[in-house]
Amino acid sequence: MTRKHGGEIPHWPLHLFLILMVVVTIYPILLVLTIAFSGGQSLSIADVPPNAGAGDRLRAILPWPEDVSTSNFRSLFIQQPFARWLGNSVIIATATTFLGVFLASTAAYAFSRFRFPGRRAGLMSFLVSQMFPGTLMLIALYIIIVQWLGLGSTYSGLVLMYTVTAIPFCVWMMKGYFDTIPKELEESALIDGASQAMIFFRIVLPLAKPAVAVTALFSFMTAWNEFIQAATFMNKEEMYTAPVGLRFFVGGFSQQWGYFAAGSIVTAIPIMILFLFLQKYLVSGLTAGAVKG
């Protein structure tokens, strides 16, 4: 940035703008950290006296707690049922991941390797399903799953819904990957007397490890971050998932911001780390899908 030849703009205004944007970006995150470590339930960082001076007001927006304490995290797990909610989320997201990967990889393999009547229609129907609006499906699913099947407030109801939500994207992505694996490997295995199932599980799936990983992460994140279906289908407090539980802390007349902030950190950190690893695959997958569609 010290090199300056003719026509180059100086870098300091760029840095100024970037720093401004970074402050705007990380301020809400710092605020959550501040409230989480404040040890209290208040939404404000500091109490502002009735006739406050500029110093008091500045203190109230500075994202650093007055007393640093981890008591919010401790009581979140001991006094509040958050451990249970987090456990629900882990169970549901894990089940969704396994079911999603299994269903998506088998279907994608067939779409990639076999030519059969209905193949094109099947692939297209998966794409079209992505256009159905969420609430439209939610009403019908609510009647079917809760009122007909009686699966409201159960793990299986939510797992099934999350899995089918993730399937189309996962199928398309895995099909794309399977297409790149040469067919000769399987043909030679077939000649050696391997069964179809053996070829799929012992040869193709191990070769497609990266795609399986991305599919798994995508399924996991779909289930982990979902709010509205869980809020609609889980009516019993002990069956809440973490997102519904977080909303429970600060929704309606409840104002337990300390628990919310601590819970958000516990819930979001793992998924944010996963996301930062995954985002480049997601971008290429999304835009590639959009270009094709």
Partner 1 sequence: MRAPLHPPSHRRRFVIGLACALFLGVGVGLALLTAARTAERHQLASREAVVTLRALTDLIERVEAPPASTEGGLGDELAGLDTGAEEAAPPAPSENAGGGMGLGDELAALDSGAETTAAEPGAAVRHAVTRFAEAHPDLRSVRVVAFEGIRLEASTDPADTGARAAPRRLEREEKDVYDLGQRLRAAIEENRETIAGGGSPINEEISSQELSDGGFSIAGSVERRGDVVGMVLIRTAPNPAARPPAPAWLPALVAWLAPVALLALLALGIGERRTVLAAAALLLLAGGLFGFSRWALGVLEAERRDTASQLAAHANAQMKTAGELLAELVPTGAAPLDPSRWDVDPYRVPRALVTAEGTLDEGKLGEQVRLDAGRLTRSVAVLALLALVLLAFIGFGGAASAGQNLREHRIAYAYVLPAMAGMIVLVFFPFFYSVALSFTNTNIYNANKPVTDLWVGLDNYAAILSDFSVIRSTPDGWAVNYENFYWTFGFNVVWTIANVAIGVALGLILALILNTKGLALRPLYRVLLILPWAVPNYITSLIFQGMFHQQFGVINQMRQLVGLDPVAWFDHPTTSFVAVLTTNGWLSFSFMMVVSLGALQSIPSDLYEAAKVDGASRWQQFKAITLPSLKPALVPAIILSVIWTFNQFNVIYLVSAGQPAGATEILITQAYKLAFQQYRYGYAAAYSMVIFLILLAYGVFQNRASRATEAIGE
CA–CA separation, 68 and 278 (whole Å): 33
Rule CB under 8 A: say whether 48 interacts with partner 1: yes
Rule CB under 8 A: say whether 15 interacts with partner 1: yes
Q: Which positions from 239 through 258 interact with partner 1, judged by CB under 8 A?
A: 243, 246-247, 250, 257
Rule CB under 8 A: say whether 236 interacts with partner 1: no
Q: Which is nearer to partner 1, 70 or 129 (CB)?
A: 129
Q: Which is nearer to partner 1, 3 or 236 (CB)?
A: 3
Binding mask of the shown chain, residues 150 to 179, with x at each position contacting partner 1 by CB under 8 A: ----------xx-xx--xx--x--------
CA–CA separation, 216 and 88 (whole Å): 18
CA–CA separation, 263 and 256 (whole Å): 11
At CB < 8 A and 24+ separation, what contacts does 249-255 make?
255/41, 255/43
Compute the chain's Rg from CA coordinates: 25
Rule CB under 8 A: say whether 90 interacts with partner 1: no
* Least distance to partner 1, CB of residue 129, Å: 5
Q: Which positions from 264 through 293 interact with partner 1, judged by CB under 8 A?
A: 264, 267-268, 271-272, 275-276, 279-280, 283, 286-287, 290-291
Applying CB under 8 A, among 21, 83, 185, 190 the residue interacting with partner 1 is 21
Residues in the chain, overall count: 293
Rule CB under 8 A: say whether 93 interacts with partner 1: no
Cα–Cα nearest to 100, from 228, 207, 211, 233: 211
Rule CB under 8 A: say whether 133 interacts with partner 1: yes
Rule CB under 8 A: say whether 137 interacts with partner 1: yes
Show the 3-state SS of 123-185: HHHHHHHCCCCHHHHHHHHHHHHHHHCCCCCCHHHHHHHHHHHHHHHHHHHHHHHHHHCCCHH
